Structures are given as structure tokens and as C-alpha cells.
């Protein structure tokens, strides 16, 4: 499948006195079909990806089924900054697209999930490290899961380290030493000449849980949500609570009963496990011994959170509609709120059973 690349700004229109290089760049940026040339083939079966922000490389993309939301506005803003920043530093060499706009994302995913590179701090300057560590301790205690789950940060700073980039190509791709020298020249050029590469938050926007007990949350996804006006601490807590829900599912995989099999990568299966993670999130965030947020706060946050485009109802990664996801979280809140003894924390199994008993209502959206 080809990729159309285009700038969203008009300042690259070709002038009569334009240099040949400017002409090439302008032509390429308006309508050039370029095959995908990424060097990594990432295994995606071992993890549940919650944020899969796709760069829109072209103005000629199909209109979003999700419609305009504050999140989409922020994402479009950073998207355009990145694409314009790429084009401004570009000499027209098509190979650069696969390296900067594809490989960089894969490299930072590998860094956070498998290499432990810069994973021990949260926020660009570690400003959320203490907060995240406390939240993780709270989740461990609440769900009785001490020292089971590793929570890793992800940062654009990682991609400034050219030696590390070289190491990743050497160990995770089939590129030859000559290829790698060539790739590194391109990487160095963009890292030096563009203030968006790799600084743009898109490059650290992962959020996922792996079956081998790791959670990754990138600074970028928090930046996007914070820029829509949300409290970053609530953002961290909610994403961690949701990813923790997936880890609980993984731990109980094969033991828990579901109406359709879990993690078989069909729309119905994915929607079910995602809605359960949202149910678990609603339960923990509002529980008196969990994050102790009131429902209104959680509702406001999740309404924005669930706006993160997932309108591909037929896609195997479908998370449920925003209304279904909010209904799942509300049902989790109801469970925490209606338990007779407020301080009681239900077992993972009991929370799962409660979710399954409400699943049809959640899907119908009749929880409210």
C-alpha cells in the first residue's frame, strides 16, 4: 500500500524562480506516492495496543468517521507540525520517509517494551515519576499484585541517541552494515536540522500492555490529552488503571469464562476485553481504597479519553463506541459505589463476574 505525503501548509507552492530542490520537494509534498519502506516488522500478537495514533501523511485522506473532537484537533496540530517539519528538512530522498516517519516509531516501541531504554522516568523531565510510582504502588496493593507488572516510560529523547538507533537496526532489522550507515546519515540530518524530529510528541505516543507483564505509557499520549485541557495526573491514573486491567486479564487468561473467547483479535472479542478494562478502570478510579476520584471527575475525563478515534467498528482493534466505553466505566463505578461495605475490595474474579453480568447492558448502552 502506498503512502501519500503532503504538507498541510501552503508555503511550499512552487515559485517561478524556485531551485530544482525546492521543485522536487514541492512536487513530492503535494502528490507523491511512495511505497512503505520501514525496516521493522513488529510482532503485534503479544500485546494489546490502546493508542495507535496514525500519522496522516496526506491531506487527501478519507474523512474521519469520528468527526471533530478536541483530541483530534490536538492530534492534527502535532501531525501538521511534524509533517511540515519533516518536509522543511527534507532533500526529497524517498528513503527518508520510511526511516523518519515509520522506523522511528518502531524503534521507540522496541526501546520501551524490550530494551528498557529511558523507561525508568515519566514525563519529559521526570516530572511525573513520583506520581506514577505512587499510582503503581496503589494499583499493586488494590489488586493484590505486588511486583508483578513493570511500568515503562517512553520519551522522544531516546531517538536523539544515534548510537542507540544504530544498535536497534543492528539487532532488530535485516539491514546490512552499509544500509545502516546510510540510514544513520539520514537520521543524523533530520535530528540536527528539524526541531520536530525527534521532539514531536507523536514519537512517544504509545500506550500498551504486553503479555509478558509490561505496560508502556509514552509522554506523548499524555501531552495530547493534557493539551485538550485535562489534568495530567488524572490522565496518568486513567491510562495506568486501564492498562492494569489488561494485565489482570492476561493473568487470568484461560481461567476466566467469557461469552466469546478473549484475545482472538476479532471486533467482538476486542470490544469485550476493552470494555472490561474500562469497567475495571471505573471500579478502581472511584473506589474509596482506589484512586478515590468522584464519578463526575472520572466521567468528564473518560468522555474526552474515549474520543480518541476508534470509529472503525469492523476493525479487529475496535474498542467499543465512546458511549459503550463510558457505560462500562459507569458500571464499574456502580459496583464500587453499591458494594455494601465501601471499603471492601472485591476479588479480581468477582469484578470479572460482575462485568460479564452487565456486558449486554453495557453494549446496549442502557447502564445510564
Name the site residues for Zn ion (rule: CB under 5 A).
50, 274, 277
Structure-block grid coordinates of residue 66 = 469520528
Are residues 267 and 316 in contact, defined by beta-carbon separation less than 8 angstroms?
Answer: yes
Helix (H, G, I), strand (E, B) or coil at 152: strand
Q: How far is the CB of 223 from Zn ion (least distance, A)?
A: 19
Nearest alpha-carbon partner for 358 in 291, 262, 259? 259
Alpha carbons within 13 angstroms on the beta-carbon side of residue 140 total 13
| Nearest distance from C-beta of residue 110 to Zn ion, angstroms | 20
Q: Which is nearer to Zn ion, 50 or 84 (CB)?
A: 50
Which residue has the CB atom at the shortest distance from Zn ion?
Answer: 50
CB 47 to Zn ion: min, Å: 10
Smallest distance from Zn ion to CB 103, Å: 25
270 Cα distance to chain centroid: 16
In the complex with Zn ion, which residue's Cβ is closer, 157 or 274? Answer: 274
Q: Which is nearer to Zn ion, 81 or 304 (CB)?
A: 304
Q: Which is nearer to Zn ion, 99 or 328 (CB)?
A: 328
Closest approach, Cβ 277 to Zn ion, in A, equals 5
Minimum CB distance to Zn ion, residue 128 (Å): 20
Element housing 210 (H / E): strand 207-210
Q: Is the Cβ of residue 39 or residue 246 nearer to Zn ion in the bound state? A: 246
Read off the DSSP letter of residue 63: P
CA dist 158 → 6, 67, 166, 284, 346 (Å): 27, 33, 12, 32, 40
Could you tell me the three cell numbers for 304?
A: 474526552
> Residue 111 or 277: which CB sits closer to Zn ion?
277
* Dihedral of alpha carbons 246, 283, 137, 241, sign: positive
Tell me how far apart the alpha carbons of residues 79 and 54 are, in angstroms, rounded to a whole number. 9
Amino acid at each position: 500500500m502506498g503512502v501519500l505525503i503532503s504538507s498541510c501548509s501552503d508555503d511550499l507552492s512552487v515559485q517561478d524562480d524556485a531551485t530544482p530542490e525546492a521543485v522536487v520537494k514541492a512536487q513530492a509534498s503535494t502528490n507523491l506516492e511512495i511505497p512503505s519502506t520501514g525496516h521493522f516488522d513488529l510482532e503485534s500478537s503479544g500485546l494489546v495496543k490502546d493508542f495507535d495514533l496514525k500519522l496522516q501523511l496526506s491531506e487527501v485522506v478519507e474523512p474521519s468517521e469520528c468527526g471533530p473532537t478536541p483530541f483530534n484537533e490536538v492530534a492534527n496540530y502535532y501531525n501538521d507540525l511534524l509533517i511540515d517539519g519533516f518536509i522543511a528538512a527534507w532533500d526529497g530522498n524517498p528513503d527518508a520517509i520510511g526511516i523518519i516517519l515509520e522506523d522511528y516509531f518502531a524503534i521507540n516501541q522496541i526501546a520501551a517494551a524490550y530494551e528498557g531504554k529511558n523507561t525508568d522516568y515519566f514525563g519529559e523531565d521526570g516530572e511525573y515519576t513520583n506520581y506514577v510510582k505512587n499510582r503503581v504502588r496503589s494499583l499493586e496493593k488494590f489488586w493484590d499484585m505486588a511486583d508483578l507488572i513493570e511500568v515503562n516510560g517512553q520519551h522522544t529523547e531516546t531517538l536523539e541517541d544515534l548510537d542507540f538507533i544504530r544498535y536497534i537496526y543492528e539487532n532488530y532489522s535485516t539491514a546490512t552494515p552499509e544500509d545502516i550507515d546510510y540510514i544513520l546519515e539520514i537520521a543524523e540530518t533530520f535530528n540536527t536540522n528539524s526541531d520536530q524530529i525527534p521532539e514531536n510528541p507523536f514519537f512517544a505516543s504509545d500506550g500498551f500492555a504486553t503479555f509478558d507483564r509490561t505496560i508502556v505509557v509514552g509522554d506523548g499520549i499524555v501531552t495530547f490529552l493534557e493539551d485538550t485541557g485535562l489534568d495530567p495526573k488524572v490522565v496518568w491514573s486513567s491510562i495506568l488503571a486501564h492498562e492494569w486491567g489488561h494485565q489482570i486479564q492476561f493473568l487470568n487468561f484461560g481461567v476466566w469464562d467469557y461469552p466469546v473467547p478473549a484475545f482472538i483479535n476479532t471486533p467482538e472479542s476486542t470490544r469485550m476485553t476493552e470494555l472490561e478494562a474500562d469497567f475495571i478502570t471505573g471500579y478502581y478510579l472511584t473506589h474509596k481504597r482506589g484512586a478515590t476520584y468522584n464519578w463526575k471527575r472520572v466521567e468528564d475525563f473518560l468522555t474526552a479519553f474515549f474520543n480518541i478515534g476508534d470509529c472503525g467498528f469492523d476493525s479487529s482493534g475496535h474498542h467499543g463506541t465512546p458511549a459503550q466505553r463510558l457505560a462500562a466505566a459507569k458500571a464499574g463505578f456502580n459496583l464500587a459505589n453499591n458494594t455494601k461495605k465501601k471499603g471492601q475490595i472485591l476479588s479480581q474474579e468477582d469484578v470479572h463476574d460482575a462485568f460479564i453480568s452487565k456486558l449486554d447492558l453495557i453494549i446496549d448502552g442502557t447502564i445510564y
